[in-house]
Structure formats: C-alpha cells, structure tokens
Amino acid sequence: MTDPALAANIDNEMTYHCAYALPAVAVTLGKENWALLKGTTEALAGDMQYKVRRTVASGLHEIAAILGPELTTADLTPLFDGFLKDLDEVRIGLLQHLAEFLKLIEQEKSNSYLMKLFDFVQTDNESNWRFREELAKQLLQVVTLFKPCDTVKYIGFIAINLLCDKIAAVREAALTLLYIFKYNYET
C-alpha cells in the first residue's frame, strides 16, 4: 500500500477496503506495532478518492483509542488537520466523531482545536444543512471537554451562527447547545 510503484497497480476498490479495515488492523497489531501501520494510514489518508479519505476520517477516533494520547497527538492530529481542509464528504466522517477524537488527544493540543472548530461552519454547499446539524450535535458533547469560559468564547460564536440558520433542525440543535452553555456556566 505504501509503495507508489505497487499502489499504481492496485484496484481502486482495494484502497477503500483497506481504509475500511484499518481500525480492525490497528486493534490486531496494537499500539506497540503502530510503526508498521503508520505509513499505510498516511497513504490512505492522502488517497485520491474522497471515499477512501472519508473512510479513514470516520475511523480516526477508533485508531486514536488504540494509540493513546501521546501517539494520537503526534501522528493522527496532522491527518485530522488535513481532513479538516478536505471536501465536505470527507469532513463529515471527521465531524461525526469529533468529540470522541478530541477526548483522545493531549489537552494542550485539544485546546488548540477550539479555534479551528469554526472551520466546520464553512461548507462547500450551503444547502448541506445536515452537516451543520451534526456540527451542533457534536458541539453538545465537545462543550464538556473545555472550561466554560473557553467554550463560550469559541463555541458560543458558532452556536449563535447556527441559531440564525434557515433550517429549523439546525436552529433547534443550536438552541440546545446554548442551553448547555448556560447550564455549564452557572455550575
């Protein structure tokens, strides 16, 4: 998989199946053999097909759970950053497990993602309201990971932005998020 000369001869569907099985292979190999899988993970994360990248992005949190905070922060956050700038079809895989991933990285690095969360508000297609709804739902879980003053400062701006959305389901999720802010800030 990691040798470009051999990868050129691989069936297009093979890379998708490799990406799908990646978390299971990581479980089998374990944290101590991560070096054997790291190159393949990076190759799949940079694949030309968006469905391969989306599949890797969707399983990133599972690999992070195996690796632990130190290796996850060192090796998986660069992949996370790359997926954050990718197509919406790839970013949704990342977004659906955002809170789980942020729990699994070192706190200092996790705090740096507070400022990057607004990147999820920017979408390729404005009519993709389910993406914004998923963002609001994930932020409901993310608020518990940070100090209340930080969540109000960074996530509050996103919540207010989502509160002005055209779609009622997005506004409802944003309103729930603001309620959680109020509750967390008072306690």
Listed ranges 9-13, 101-105, 111-115, 157-161; the one with the highest mean pLDDT = 101-105
Alpha carbon distance 159, 152 (integer Å): 9
In which residue are the tokens 């950053």 written?
81
Domain ranges of the chain: 1-113, 116-187
Q: Of residues 118 and 76, which shows the higher confidence score?
A: 76
- Secondary structure class of 124 (helix, strand, coil): coil
Q: Which residues, at least 6 apart from 91, have a Cβ–Cβ distance to it below 8 Å? A: 57, 83, 84, 120, 131
- Secondary structure class of 81 (helix, strand, coil): helix
User: How do residues 136-158 score in pLDDT, each as one tens digit?
Assistant: 999 999 998 998 888 888 898 89
HSE-CB of 95 using CA atoms within 13 angstroms: 26
Mean pLDDT of 77-83: 97
Name the pLDDT band for 126 (thresholds 50, 70, 90): confident
The structure's pTM equals 0.89
Q: Which residues, at least 6 apart from 19, have a Cβ–Cβ distance to it below 8 Å? A: 44, 47, 52, 53, 55, 56, 59
Q: Which residues, at least 6 apart from 122, have a Cβ–Cβ distance to it below 8 Å? A: none
pLDDT number for residue 35? 97
Alpha carbon distance 98, 154 (integer Å): 16
Which of 48-57, 61-70, 74-83, 173-182 shows the lowest mean pLDDT across its residues? 173-182
Name the pLDDT band for 10 (thresholds 50, 70, 90): low
Mean predicted lDDT score pLDDT of the chain = 91
> Structure tokens of 111?
């705090």
User: Contact at 8 Å (CB) between 52 and 44?
Assistant: yes
Measured from the Cβ of residue 5, the count of other Cβ atoms closer than 10 Å reads: 6
pLDDT number for residue 76? 98
Mean pLDDT of 25-54: 97
